[in-house]
Structure 1
Amino acid sequence: MPVVHHRKPSLGSYPIWVGSRLFLKPLLSLWPLNRSGMAGLFLIDRMFAVGPKPRRVVREQIELGDRPAELILPTGPSRRDPDTAILYLHGGAFVVGGVGTHRSIAARMSQKCEVPVFSLVYRQLPAAGVGTSVADALSAYRELITERGYRRVVVAGDSAGGFLAAKVIEGAVAQGLPAPVAFVGFSPLLDLDLGSHPDRCSRSDAYLPKAKMAELAPAFDRGPLQLAGVRRIGDLEPAIFPPTILITAENEMLEPDVIALVEELDEAGVEAVAHSYSWQVHAFPVFGSHHRETMEAIEASAAFAGRAIREAKDADERKSQWAG
């Protein structure tokens, strides 16, 4: 089955869900989406950036695709593959978030997969629209492949970052670049126009307000670079997707798109699986590092990505043997 349901939540899940519903959702509903309101959200990443740092990794501030990025490497004995890396694209509705808010998830993916993780600071609102964010993500991917010598790259992201990761898959095909070896998405946004769909609501979502998504959507088309290709990831040809694992909270607003995409990929013969966790919040693997469901979701994602990496490496070795 391409969809795995996890319906026995840990006790810690309930206060997180209820707290998000009572406090975070009203706050997001009321937050102004004018230029000053969006610009002020950068302080959230600044606060996380000065918080506790993840252990058992080393970090380096670099440039990737002409954008700031953080390189995270696992410490200690490692079977690290020098030809493999993960490009991580943070979420935050293309408005908020960055290296600081997503350092924990990037570090855990680096530890579990034993590969370097490149966490990108792409341009976002209010300074730039989604087309520019996509261009930054694709430039970073191109540099990893063409200049830094990585033969195998996993694209991963949460929420808005999941949309960017999928657009990297589309862009790699369009530009003749080697395809990513896996796609990992934590509550990925798969449709830019989700907020305007009359058959979708956010009543069961712990904190995402649909009305705010609809209000924000017109800003997605802001320049300086216009979005090329699809606005809905499900409109892509299934055959271009690599092995795909998507994590979602049960009944969150984005879950139907996640399940529909995975089922479509599975039907087309692409290895794909979705894990749906009850009583969780949108993009929960990014939060609560000691939360049981967070750890399970990261373990499942890392194991899936690890298998895809090994299969891609074996395929590369077979090609080398045939060529020899």
Structure 2
Amino acid sequence: MRDINIPLPIARTLLSPIFRVTLNARLPWQVQRVLLDIGSRAQFLPSGTIVHPLRLGGRPAERITARSAGPNLNAGAVLYLHGGGYAVGSLATHRSLAARLAHETGCAVYVLDYRLAPEHPYPAGLEDAESAFLELTGSIGYRPEQIALSGDSAGGGLSLATAQRLIAEHGYTPAALGLIAPWVDPNQVPDKFRDLVINRPWSRACAAAYLGTGDGTDTGYAPLHGELRGLPPTYVQVDVSELLHTQCADLVTALRAAGVHTWLAESKGLWHVAQLQAALVGPAAAALTELAVFLREAVQPVAMRDLG
């Protein structure tokens, strides 16, 4: 199915009530998850997408590739960690986004179904992401520098925390970090009550569910305050209207102060993780393409870079 391009004002009008109903702190987590999975059916897959279910790090996962890549499939890979406040989101909700990344990077994109709170609070998700990366470098055979970590919202924060742990505990530095509106400090209370997608009560409920009985000062929980030196090149996308905009700007400032090569892409008129609606909204597709270009260049083998 071909993409369509809904004008931004109409898209915002259509999406606002959906998010208000679905991401509601008064709804049980299981109900939110079901509603999001149902809604994901409107997020089309590009034609020629190959979805291969597998286990990765002991968890369900999907390896998504583009049939058009064929034998020219890039030697690198992307490990994608979905958003959803650590409490919702699934392989289904992010399959379309990951498929587009696979087509535009030429890489295999691995999407991980990490354990969710409140049933599995921190550090369960971080442990799952760490194990998945280690399996990619072990039995699957990638080198650490061939794997980019990418994620949105909570998955963006989880990507950062995973990179920090891999560097500190295994000496593995991923090829890059591609972060869409990363939630890197769940302790911070948003200044605004809501944006188009997220509202403050839901955000605080997610933070509490993820923390459980843990320590909020743990840098695995709030990686903004962890060790940033030595991280790989990092690309951060965020819309200026988002509740997380200030937090993302703080992250970029801290990364640059730590000597990390960092790019910030700020959109105007989109919404939190609008890239999920890339099949429906042209500017969202353009933002996702920018991320894909960054990831593709990061995971290209050195010899191929030199040819350019």
TM-score by length of 2: 0.87
Q: CA deviation at 1:54?
A: 3.7
Question: Is the 1:202–1:208 Cα contact (8 Å) retained in structure 2?
Answer: no
- Which 10-residue stretch deviates more, 89-98 or 11-20? 11-20
d(CA) in 2 for partners of 1:276, 1:236: 24
d(CA) in 2 for partners of 1:207, 1:45: 12
SS at match of 1:302: helix
Larger Rg: 1
1:264 aligned onto 2:254? yes
Residue segments in structure 1 that go unaligned for 5+ positions in a row:
1-9, 319-324
Match of 1:174 in 2: 168
Q: CA deviation at 1:76?
A: 2.1
Match of 1:55 in 2: 47
SS at match of 1:41: helix
Match of 1:140 in 2: 132
How many residue pairs are counted as aligned between the two chains?
A: 298
Q: CA deviation at 1:166?
A: 0.8
Question: Is the 1:131–1:228 Cα contact (8 Å) retained in structure 2?
Answer: no
Per-residue CA deviation, residues 113-170 of structure 1 (Å, 9 max, x unaligned), is: 1010111111102321131111111111111012211111110111111111111101
Q: Pick the aligned partner of 1:13 from 8, 12, 18.
A: 8
Q: Pick the aligned partner of 2:110 from 90, 103, 118.
A: 118
Identity %: 24
Q: CA deviation at 1:182?
A: 0.6
Question: Is the 1:44–1:97 Cα contact (8 Å) retained in structure 2?
Answer: no
SS at match of 1:201: coil
Question: Is the 2:164–2:227 Cα contact (8 Å) retained in structure 1?
Answer: no
d(CA) in 1 for partners of 2:48, 2:264: 29
Match of 1:160 in 2: 154
1:247-258 to structure 2, matched below 5 A, reads 247-258=237-248
d(CA) in 1 for partners of 2:179, 2:80: 10
Match of 2:73 in 1: 80
SS at match of 2:125: helix
Q: CA deviation at 1:59?
A: 1.0
RMSD, aligned CA: 2.8
Q: CA deviation at 1:48?
A: 5.5
Q: CA deviation at 1:241?
A: 1.5
- Which 10-residue stretch deviates more, 125-134 or 165-174? 125-134
Residue segments in structure 2 that go unaligned for 5+ positions in a row:
none
Question: Is the 2:164–2:228 Cα contact (8 Å) retained in structure 1?
Answer: no
Per-residue CA deviation, residues 85-140 of structure 1 (Å, 9 max, x unaligned), is: 11011111112111111011100111111010111111102321131111111111
Q: Describe the shift of the 1:60–1:48 C-alpha distance in structure 2 as closer, same or farther (beyond 3 A).
A: farther
1:206 aligned onto 2:206? no
Q: Describe the shift of the 1:293–1:178 C-alpha distance in structure 2 as closer, same or farther (beyond 3 A).
A: same
Q: Pick the aligned partner of 1:101 from 93, 96, 103.
A: 93
d(CA) in 2 for partners of 1:69, 1:303: 24
d(CA) in 1 for partners of 2:23, 2:109: 33
